[in-house]
Chain A
Amino acid sequence: MKTHGIIPDEWIVSYASGALSEAHALVVATHCHFHPELQQKLDDAENIGAMFMVSNQPAQVSSRLFEEIITEIDSMSTTTELPSDQEGIPYPLAEYLNHKSLDQLKWRMMGPGLSQVRLWTGPNDECLWLLKAKGGAKIPSHDHKELEFTLVLQGSYHVGDEHYRPGLLEIADDNTKNHTPIIDPGEDCICLVVTEAPIKIHSFMGRLAQPFIGL
Chain B
Amino acid sequence: MDDPSALSEISHEQLVIMVARNKDKYAFRQLFDHYAPRIKSYLLNFQITDQKAEDLSQEVMITLWQKADKFDPDKAKISTWLFRVARNKYIDKVRKQKYPEVNADDHIASIVAPEKTDRTIQEKQDQGRIKMAMASLSDEQQKVIELSFFKELSHSQIAAETNMPLGTVKSRIRTAFQILRKELGDYK
Contacts and interface: CB of A to CB of B under 8 A. Distances in A.
B66 A79 contact: yes
B11 interface: no
Given A29-B102, A50-B79, A95-B100, A73 B40 contact: no
A78 B24 CA distance: 17
Contact of A47 (B25, B107, B148, B187): B187
A48 to B, nearest CB: 6
A203 interface: no
Contact of B82 (A8, A16, A50, A93): A50
B184 A44 contact: yes
A33 B65 CA distance: 27
Q: What's the interface size class on B, roughly? A: 35 or more
Contact of B126 (A8, A51, A66, A79): A51
Closest CB pairs A-B (n = 6): A58-B37, A50-B83, A56-B41, A51-B130, A59-B41, A22-B97
Contacts of A76: 62, 66
Nearest to B65: A73
Given A44-B184, A59-B41, A69-B32, A18 B91 contact: yes
Interface residues of A, number: 59
Contacts of B57: 61, 65
By secondary structure, the B interface counts as: helix
A48 B184 contact: yes
B79 A39 contact: no
A131 B86 CA distance: 33
B130 A92 contact: no
Interface in B148-170: 148-150, 152-155, 157, 169-170
A30 B100 CA distance: 8
Contacts of A178: none
A187 interface: no
B61 interface: yes
25 contacts: A9-B173, A9-B178, A10-B173, A12-B177, A13-B145, A13-B173, A22-B97, A39-B107, A44-B184, A47-B77, A47-B184, A47-B187, A48-B145, A51-B79, A51-B126, A51-B129, A52-B130, A54-B35, A54-B38, A58-B38, A69-B62, A73-B65, A76-B62, A91-B101, A91-B102
Contacts of A79: 66
Interface in A30-80: 30, 32-33, 39, 41-62, 65-66, 68-70, 72-73, 76, 79
Q: Looking at A50, A65, A73, which has the most chain B CB atoms within 10 Å of its CB?
A: A50
A33 B61 contact: no
A59 B53 contact: yes
Contacts of B100: 22, 25-26, 29-30, 92-93, 95-96
A46 B107 CA distance: 13
Q: Looking at B113, B131, B173, which has the most chain A CB atoms within 10 Å of its CB?
A: B173
Contacts of B50: 59
A54 B103 contact: no
A213 B126 CA distance: 52
A13 B177 contact: yes
Contact of A19 (B41, B42, B152, B171): B152
Contacts of B157: 19
Q: Looking at A21, A68, A69, A85, which has the most chain B CB atoms within 10 Å of its CB?
A: A69
